[in-house]
Amino acid sequence: MKIVATILLFVLLLFTSPARAQQVPAAETMADSLHSLNHELLILQDALEAATVDNSMLDFTSVKAWELSNATLRDSVFFLLLGADSSLLSDAGANGLVIATNSNDLIEIRFGSSSFKGDRLRNILAASSDKGLYQRIATSYPYSKGIELREADFKIPTPFEPLLMSYPTLANTFGDMSLQSDMDHNPRRADISLFGVQFKASPDWGAEFKLGNDEIGFPFWSSGKMAFLATYKRVKFGFELPFSGGLKTSNLFPPFVVRARHLNGTRGIVGQFDFGMLGGLLSITRLTNSDLASLTSRDFFYYISAVTQLYYSFGVYFSPSIMARAKVGGALYRVNQATVGNAADPAGRTIPGHVYEGPRQVILGPHLSFEYLHRDGDVDRFRGGVQFFDMTLLLSGEMAIIEDVLSLELKYAWPVGASRRPWQTPEYLIASPHIKFGF
């Protein structure tokens, strides 16, 4: 009996000890915490159940969406959901849309404006007599019409930093006729305007007729010269001849007043190159007796006998469609003054039409130019340029009217010095249609 009493006393002391008294409140505290956490999870679950899944919230997430293409499967799902929510009847006939993760966990099933998701969806499917329905819905994606969750017009703006152009790209982009454009569209094509004609027989070879000397500030007929050139890639070579027209001012289309030229043409050789980084021109010509028929004046006239130009160039992308090119270098040209009179041969007979050479001047100075191009894809929407040499500004511009067919081209020459040279033409503006076609 003493042994039994001792055991009973030990058990009584054990359950009434201070350590046991401290354990009971701790267990109750843990139970309260778990109850509170579970309550919070239920609140979050209710918020999820009440929320509407917006397609924009699913952009760029690891989810997929598709329509239930199988009519039998679609009807089974529809009538199952209709049994749980009779309001679905208003969306009868709507396509069934399923949204799930890439691991085939169903997120939402939608018919029209009615949506089922979360625990609500899982409980409805679990209560179905068809225990494999969940799996058949989740795996129907490969056999159904997929839906793009990302908005097609959505774009993430990326800041564009100015970028230097490569030299081959620079030459092809800002050249007279873009080689890359020719190769992409038609290797045989022609460009025609009042300022000249360009012809491409292949991506490498072509020909060009050019009127004037833009590189020294004498566009159109103001220099009295025209050039016939063969072109190979970015090299041009050929000859120059006098231009007989331009002796009278033309104001046929005011305000485009094309003034009479003050220079006379000569004949000789000319070469030009543009390799992107470096470019230049060399022209060496002379006046012959065959050129006296179209002189501005037989008593006193000027003509250019040599032109040299050399420049360094670089280009910059300001955006994918806006780019610019700068040229920095120098140029010179030599102007001869002459008059036509009579001469006597050794026998004393008069020889008419003799050219008496006067003084010569060499005009040397820096050559600066800036070109701007706005391009949409392969289409040049607008080209503009400004050139400065010998106190003369040459402004040019070209705007597309019909894509890759017709554009309007303008040139404006403006001597900005306090006094212009006697052979320089006063300011004038001339416009020309620019026609392009392939064949």
CB atoms within 10 A of CB 281: 19
Scanning the structure block, which residue is given the tokens 């090119």?
325
pLDDT the model gives residue 369: 96
Please tell me the distance from the alpha carbon of residue 383 to that of residue 397, in angstroms, as a whole number: 5
pTM, full prediction: 0.62
Scanning the structure block, which residue is given the tokens 């002189």?
295
pLDDT the model gives residue 159: 76
- Total residue length of the chain: 439
Please tell me the distance from the alpha carbon of residue 417 to that of residue 415, in angstroms, as a whole number: 6
Residues 6+ apart with CB under 8 A from 351: 342, 343, 344, 345
* Torsions phi, psi for 25 (to 5 deg): -60, -35
Strand 350-376 to 196-200 pairing: unpaired
CB atoms within 10 A of CB 251: 11
pLDDT the model gives residue 185: 54
pLDDT the model gives residue 212: 93
Please tell me the distance from the alpha carbon of residue 25 to that of residue 309, in angstroms, as a whole number: 98
Beta carbons of 385 and 398 less than 8 angstroms apart: no
pLDDT the model gives residue 284: 96
How many CA within 13 A on the CB side of residue 184? 10
Determine the distance from the C-alpha atom of residue 210 to the mean position of all C-alpha atoms in its chain, rounded to a whole number.
29
> Closest Cα to residue 402, out of 439, 377, 437?
437
Please tell me the distance from the alpha carbon of residue 87 to that of residue 81, in angstroms, as a whole number: 10
Beta carbons of 340 and 354 less than 8 angstroms apart: yes
3-state secondary structure of 259: coil
pLDDT the model gives residue 1: 46
- DSSP E strands: which ranges in 132-224? 145-147, 163-164, 189-193, 196-200, 205-213, 218-219
Sequence letter at residue 222 = S
Please tell me the distance from the alpha carbon of residue 9 to that of residue 202, in angstroms, as a whole number: 114
pLDDT the model gives residue 230: 96
How many CA within 13 A on the CB side of residue 262? 13
* Torsions phi, psi for 277 (to 5 deg): -75, -40
Record the tokens describing residue 429, joined without a space. 């503006």
Q: Is the omega angle on the peptide bond into residue 255 within 30 degrees of 0, that is, cis?
A: yes
pLDDT the model gives residue 423: 93
Record the tokens describing residue 79, joined without a space. 């009538």
Segments in the chain below pLDDT 50: 1-2, 4, 11, 17-24, 60, 178-184
pLDDT the model gives residue 148: 77
Across-strand partners of 232? Answer: 205, 235
Beta carbons of 207 and 229 less than 8 angstroms apart: yes
